[in-house]
Structure 1
Amino acid sequence: MTQDISYRLHESYGYRLSRLSRINEKHFEEAISPIGISRLTWCVLCAVGLEQIVFPSAIAAYLGVEKSIISRLLRDMEKDKLIIKKPHSGDGRATCIELTDKGQSILQKVKRHAAATARHFESKLTKQELAEFYRLIDKLMEGEDTAIPRI
């Protein structure tokens, strides 16, 4: 005999979290769409230009995505003249990523859109609520496998 489990989709944790994520993504994607880059491209620009993470495998680890996804994206970004690939000065087998002037310019432009999106949603919470929200998000992610197929 099976026990009836009460479940209400719109009241569920997963639905609410996914919906919030998609609402945030949509807000940001609408802002950056005219610039012609994806959220993942934006994340790579941030990793390289803001965090100085220059090795493809380190970029993948930092973003929590598979290396193959980053490899394909870096090829596309190179074609779009957003990055250049250079051999590492100490190890010619290793490749380093640098932003081009175009990549740096787009990074600066999109930073304003990212900040505006963050302000839009963060302004709905008090400072205390926001700190608690971030703490709870970190707690929920703690101990989980962070590699995901795409951001």
Structure 2
Amino acid sequence: MQLEQKYQALIDEAQRRKMPDIEGIQLCFQTLSLAAGIDRGCAAQLAPYGLSEGRFVLLFLLDAAPDGLAPNALAKQAGVTRATVTGLLDGLEREALIERHANADDRRALCIRLTHKGRQLAKTVIEHHSRWIAGLFGGLSKPEREQLAFLLEKAAKNTEA
């Protein structure tokens, strides 16, 4: 696997310094390189639709909520700040993908809903994107996927310490 250049430079320096557990360091950098590659691929998959990952996440969440969601609920579900959601919603609204409506119970509160155009785009992108994501590990057998999931979970526990 080709490491990102910065990680390769760090591995080379770690080897030069004869640091312990170079294999563990290399595994970490392989994981980070894979994640960066997935992020780049994700951005490339979403770019033709004029979407960033953040905008895609909001479309995905709104597609699952036909009655709409409040901006604060979107922020919480997406794991971002309210300010970030406001910026993302502004862009989606400019492109007529969402509409802001006054909440029926509290006119001071907003309810965000997909427009017809937004629903169509969400349907197309969700189908395309989920196939792409699933294909990333398509070359692994079921036991290999289970083993990878187990190993990732085991490694993740070390980050909690």
For normalisation by structure 1, the TM-score amounts to 0.76
Q: What's 1:82 paired with?
A: 97
Q: Work out whether 1:33 is the aligned partner of 2:47.
A: yes
Q: Give the partner amino acid of 2:109.
A: A
- C-alpha distance in 2 between matches for 1:96 and 1:138: 37
**C-alpha offsets along residues 119-144 of structure 1, whole Å, 9 cap, x if unaligned?**
32121222233245445656738x97
Give yes or no for contact 1:27–1:117 (8 Å, CA) kept in 2.
no
- Compared CA separation, residues 136 and 68, structure 1 to 2 (3 A): farther
Following superposition, the deviation at residue 83 of structure 1 comes to: 0.3
Instruction: Find 1:68's aligned residue among 70, 83, 90.
Output: 83
Higher-RCO chain (CA-CA 8 Å, sequence separation at least 6):
1
Q: Give the partner amino acid of 2:92.
A: M
Give yes or no for contact 1:28–1:113 (8 Å, CA) kept in 2.
no
Q: What's 2:124 paired with?
A: 109
Q: What's 2:136 paired with?
A: 121
Q: What's 2:57 paired with?
A: 43
Q: What's 1:59 paired with?
A: 74
SS at structure 1 position matched to 2:136: helix
Q: Give the partner amino acid of 1:103.
A: G
For normalisation by structure 2, the TM-score amounts to 0.72
Give yes or no for contact 1:24–1:117 (8 Å, CA) kept in 2.
no
Following superposition, the deviation at residue 106 of structure 1 comes to: 0.9
- C-alpha distance in 2 between matches for 1:136 and 1:63: 26
| Bigger radius of gyration | 2
CA RMSD of the aligned region, Å? 2.7
- Compared CA separation, residues 35 and 127, structure 1 to 2 (3 A): same
- Compared CA separation, residues 72 and 109, structure 1 to 2 (3 A): same
**C-alpha offsets along residues 92-118 of structure 1, whole Å, 9 cap, x if unaligned?**
121111001111111111112212212
Q: Give the partner amino acid of 1:89.
A: A
SS at structure 2 position matched to 1:122: coil
- Compared CA separation, residues 54 and 22, structure 1 to 2 (3 A): same
